[in-house]
Chains A and B, each alone.
Chain A
Amino acid sequence: MINPLLEPIHGVSLQDYAAISAKMASGIDVKEICKTLGIEQAVYEEASAIWVTRMQEDTTWEVTTLFGQYFGEADQHPKLSGLQVAMSEDGKANLDKIKSDRYFYEELCGARQAAYNYGFDGAQWIQDNFGITLGDFQGVAMKWSTEQKAEMDRGFYDNVHHFLAHQEAKQKEYEAKFAEEQGGNVADDVEY
């Protein structure tokens, strides 16, 4: 039986809503997105408010899970795929790399967390240094998180731990870099 909570709202499907959210997170103006999709902003805003309440209501997590999947596949949306934010060549190359190279993706996750831990806006830091917007980064994160869940379902915990360890090691590397730039950590003078 199809979950009634997945029914489109005023013609805005969950796939549309997730793709709009992803494009907005990439920095594309909502007006431009609505125009490309062929809906009025008023329709989008009301649909958006109700999609949030559908997720709150859904005990099966199906709406939230599918939202995550569609968010990660925003570039495959039939109408919005062509809507891209201007990106540097380096940014494009880095974005392609985090999509295909999980080690690099885990490294940037570690770097982003390290940046937050040293008082930077981690998402902005990734954009400034690797040219990848928050929306694009989150889209790729959804893809890897789906893959990781599938690995766990198959019992491949070693693989999950392997990448987690890689991310932690990279986070430490970046933290050491930030600490050096900021003149060290508070407890650097405390030695065993």
Chain B
Amino acid sequence: MGFFSRKSNNNNQLAEAKKEMEETKVRFFSFIEKLEQKVEEFSASSLPELTEMNQTDTDEYKRSYQRLKAAVIGQLDNMQQKALEVKNEKIKNFELADDSHELNDLYYDFRNECYERYNKLEELIDQSKEQINDTHSENYETKYQSILDEFEATKNNFHCSQCSSPIELTKIFFTITYITCPSCQTKNTFEPSTQAKQLEHIGRSLAEQRTKHLLKEFEAMPEKAHELYLQIHDLELDLINEKNKTVIEKTNNKIKKLEKEKQFLEEQQPIKYQQYLRAMFDEWNKINPALTEEHERFYNRLLTDYNNN
């Protein structure tokens, strides 16, 4: 008799726990859905405003735009934090009546479903943040062109402070430089404009912008290799219960082909990285040749870091 009443009690407990978990899940899903709507609405309204501000903010460091962007991301973080706190309180710390195997199984299913739902919100927030960060664009070509135009306008307009003879500026100076007058040998101080002083910094950003496509190609390679790995893995799983010899042979051939593709891709990765790096530094050297030697040492350092990791 005791055995049956204990079993009945356990069944009741299980049914109650199941009901409670189901109710919690429904509430949690609804809560996450409402947050998702907020994320979507908020991002949709912020994106055009940020894009416009990025274009119209004339400040060198786009401070107003940066502040707004930080605030938008701050609100998205706030929503994520809110969801995380509820997840921890209601799901992670969900109280179980006992430590039985059945109840734990039930709980793990419930927890996994809720966590998956939460992860979708996180993914959405991450995507939104990416879109928000993408609203930032700097036109380095324009900035560089402006430095070139300024150089063209000033290169024949610099005169000796002592004898007034013209002194031709033979290159873009980005730091204060002493130039000796060819006529009277007086040492003149040439101070570049604020924008010309940015040449080295703009040069790197512009070089990176011009070679971004190569970096993207390189960065996409590990994911492609992983996709191939998954395809191979799926085919290997298919083979476990396969009896048909023709199918086995075909699948094995397919696996071999994919493995070759994957191997090729992996071998190409360091080559691609070097291609990108070389192209980027070549651009940078063209923009600011004065520091070519230093750039080259930096290039070697980055390549060494890559090869060592």
Contact = CB atoms under 8 A, between A and B. Distances in A.
A30 B90 CA distance: 56
A186 B189 contact: no
A41 B176 contact: yes
Interface string A71-91: 000000000000000000000
Counting contact residues on chain A (CB < 8 A from B), the size range is 20 to 34
A45 B35 contact: no
Given A41-B176, A49-B174, A53-B291, A187 B79 contact: yes
Contacts of B27: 192
B304 interface: yes
Contacts of B295: 53
A53 B67 contact: no
Nearest to B27: A192
Interface stretch (B70-78, B150-158, B251-259, B262-270): B70-78
B298 A53 contact: yes
B92 interface: no
B9 interface: no
A53 B296 CA distance: 10
Given A42-B177, A192-B28, A187 B74 contact: no
B33 to A, nearest CB: 10
Given A59-B305, A192-B86, A192-B90, A186 B298 contact: no
Nearest to B290: A49
A58 B304 CA distance: 11
A175 to B, nearest CB: 7
A41 B178 CA distance: 11
Contacts of B175: 42, 45-46, 48-49
B171 interface: no
B75 A185 contact: yes
A157 interface: no
Interface string A29-64: 000000000001110011011101100111100000
Contacts of A40: 176
A50 B177 contact: no
Interface residues of B, number: 37
Contacts of B86: 192
Interface string A159-192: 0000000000000000100010000011100111
Contact of B67 (A49, A58, A120, A192): A120
Contact of B294 (A53, A120, A175): A53
A119 B176 contact: no
B79 A186 contact: yes
Contacts of A46: 175-177
Contact of B78 (A45, A48, A186): A186
A187 B71 contact: no
B78 A185 contact: yes
Contacts of B305: 59
A175 B71 CA distance: 11
B19 interface: no
Given A185-B78, A186-B78, A121 B301 contact: no
A116 B74 contact: yes
A117 interface: yes
B213 interface: no
B63 interface: yes
Nearest to A182: B71
A121 B67 contact: yes
B286 interface: no
Task: Point out which of A59, A118, A186 has the most chain B C-beta atoms below 10 A from its C-beta.
Answer: A186
Contacts of A121: 63, 67
B233 interface: no
A190 B35 contact: yes
B70 A116 contact: yes
15 contacts: A46-B175, A53-B295, A53-B298, A57-B297, A57-B298, A118-B74, A119-B68, A121-B67, A185-B78, A185-B79, A186-B38, A186-B75, A187-B79, A190-B35, A191-B31
The 7 closest A-B pairs by CB, nearest first: A117-B74, A119-B71, A45-B175, A53-B294, A42-B176, A56-B298, A57-B297
